[in-house]
Structure 1
Amino acid sequence: MTSQKTAIFWAILAAGLYALNAPVSKLLLEEVPPTMMAALLYLGAGMGLAVVRLVQRMTGKGKKEAPLTKKDMPYTVGMVVLDIAAPIFLMVGLTMTTAANASLLNNFEIVATAVIALFIFREAISRRLWLAIVLVTISSAILSVEDVTSFTFSYGSIFVLLACVCWGLENNCTRMISHKDPLEIVVIKGFGSGLGSLVLAFCLGESALPLVYGVCTLLLGFVAYGLSIFFYIYAQRYLGAAKTSAYYALAPFMATALSLVIFREKPSISFFIALLIMAVGTYFASTDNAAEK
């Protein structure tokens, strides 16, 4: 019981750290191209936690963890590849939609994670979580429509949803190796995904950016990606992929609140309707009892 309560705390802490991502990235995207942004975010995560790992070894502190092996290679490679695609989709989406809209849409990751966990990895899904999935999907559909009267889809929202699908599959890959050293996983994830995105950024000609913005992006990556992923992996050990994703769903609400304050955005009526539906769906997800079938 204590382990599960601690895991819930880790999941919520991970959500709080990740909540900084959308609003702060929206600000930085004024100076940093989207693919370069995705690269620096993951490189910041990898570099930051590599330093943490080095300090642990020098001081002799830190719990002894099992290292990754060849058997874990398929999930590790899948994790890295999906983490190259997902943040690029998200950054492109952020350039085409509001930060508040993108933040709330991030909750679709619950749906993607849970459905993939069920159909591919055979993880149990309760009736309560199914209800949450339906509500979050409805809310995401509302947020994806730019003009309700003409049913025009927002291309920015579609890119954010693509990012959620990638992260949903990535969550399940990470779940399969979550019993291994979290620091090693995040360092590999950070450098692998970061360097992959960096190559793409150079291929697209996204090489020039102000130094101060590059440093700020690296710091954001360390906090919002590195530390967030680190605590998320610990939570997955005890809660599973679907349940951890449900608690992590608090992040979009925190990010939405920050976005509305920072950008002084004026949400539409459909946004508030979607917010209400999303809140109910998130409540059912976060209070789900896996034993209830």
Structure 2
Amino acid sequence: MNRNVLFALSAAALFGASTPFAKLLVGDMSPVLLAGLLYLGSGVGLTLIRLVRDRGWHASGLPRAEWPWLLGAILFGGVLGPLALMFGLTSTSGSSASLLLNLEAVLTAAIAWLVFKENADKRIVLGMVAIVAGGVVLSWPSQSTSSADWVGPVLVGVACLCWAIDNNLTRKVSASDALFIAGSKGIVAGLVNSTLAVALGAQLPSMATVTATMAVGLLGYGFSLVMFVLALRGLGTARTGAYFSTAPFIGAAIALLVFGESTGLAFWVAAALMGLGVWLHLTETHEHEHDHEPLEHVHPHNHDAHHQHTHDSDWNGEGAHVHPHKHVVIRHSHGHFPDIHHRHGH
């Protein structure tokens, strides 16, 4: 299996696994404060890991041209999305909100295909439809519920749109340090949600609960987002979003296996649909002659068919290394995804 696919599925697994654990914590604090502490656990934890990795604080190395993309991603994904969801949930049932949250994958793919002109063949579209259909089946209300005011569902849809924009903007910076990107988003989102919760009168729970919540956030939000950024780097936005859409199924499976929750026919129908979608994506082949335009960026790389540059400093030729490098015009043919080196038209 392609390692970038593993990154995407790992991101989905970590995020999906965090949901049943977060459910255990929601009774101890307000949902807004819970979201804030989860994000803070992600941001603070990843920042500390980055400090240890780099043996101190170093500049992010993010190119100046990419800062607007990152700031836009933080604004939409870390601020506007959570705010829209919070206000939407005040007048939307939980089952309806779960159903509406499947819009994120659809909107992510639509923006990638229509706005950023990412390639999508019939197999990828069918796979996306199957995965999203599985999410719809899994979150469909099991019993009749009263109709909610239209404002609530619209705001939940706005939250999905914000996160879809966030996903596409994050792809623009996915070649840069994934720890810095994910840590920055976690800290901003955590501070915004936590501050809002306190302003609304939320009370902090015990230190043990705060620590447990931030630990879940580091795993389910932090490491998950790092994996998501790495997947964006190698797969493009639509495919990464499709694989990530399996998170609800993974969360439900863990709730079933670990917490002994009951399941029914909908769970197995969703599993079959999502399995079909993942299979369609895994068996995709996309190969044609294509041109690489001149490009300059920074990311870990080996000297392969796309990296044949020289170095100003010594390098022993072993392992991946990181430095600013330029790509010259290349024309060749091979199997590829719409990754950071293949954003050409068709």
TM-score by length of 1: 0.79
By how many angstroms is 1:251 displaced?
A: 3.0
For 2:181, which of 180, 185, 197 is the aligned residue? Answer: 185
By how many angstroms is 1:264 displaced?
A: 3.8
- Contact in 1 for aligned 2:128/2:242 (Cα 8 Å): no
Partner residue in 2 for 1:73: 67
Partner residue in 2 for 1:213: 209
Give the number of equivalent residue pairs.
Answer: 282
Distance 1:67 1:23 in 2: 36
Whichever of the two has the greater Rg, that structure is 2
Between 1:84-93 and 1:127-136, the stretch displaced more is 84-93
By how many angstroms is 1:75 displaced?
A: 1.9
Is 1:53 matched with 2:47? no
Q: Against the structure 1 CA distance between its residues 239 and 223, is the aligned structure 2 distance closer, same or farther, given a 3 Å change threshold?
A: same
Distance 1:133 1:285 in 2: 8
Is 1:13 matched with 2:10? yes
Is 1:280 matched with 2:238? no
Partner residue in 1 for 2:115: 120
By how many angstroms is 1:162 displaced?
A: 5.9
Higher strand fraction (1 or 2): 2
Distance 1:106 1:171 in 2: 14
Could you give the per-residue CA deviations for residues 70-123 of structure 1, whole angstroms, max 9, x where no partner exists? Answer: 422332222212233445638986x9547xx95x98665432321111112111
TM-score by length of 2: 0.68
Could you give the per-residue CA deviations for residues 112-161 of structure 1, whole angstroms, max 9, x where no partner exists? Answer: 3211111121111111111123334444444554257x696689x96876
By how many angstroms is 1:213 displaced?
A: 1.4
Distance 2:61 2:177 in 1: 6
Partner residue in 2 for 1:175: 171
Q: Sequence identity of aligned pairs in percent?
A: 32
Higher helix fraction (1 or 2): 1
Question: RMSD value over aligned CA atoms?
Answer: 3.7
Distance 2:28 2:87 in 1: 13
- Contact in 2 for aligned 1:126/1:288 (Cα 8 Å): no
Distance 2:157 2:137 in 1: 12
Structure 1 unaligned spans of 5+: none
Structure 2 unaligned spans of 5+: 289-345
Q: Against the structure 1 CA distance between its residues 145 and 237, is the aligned structure 2 distance closer, same or farther, given a 3 Å change threshold?
A: closer
By how many angstroms is 1:25 displaced?
A: 1.0
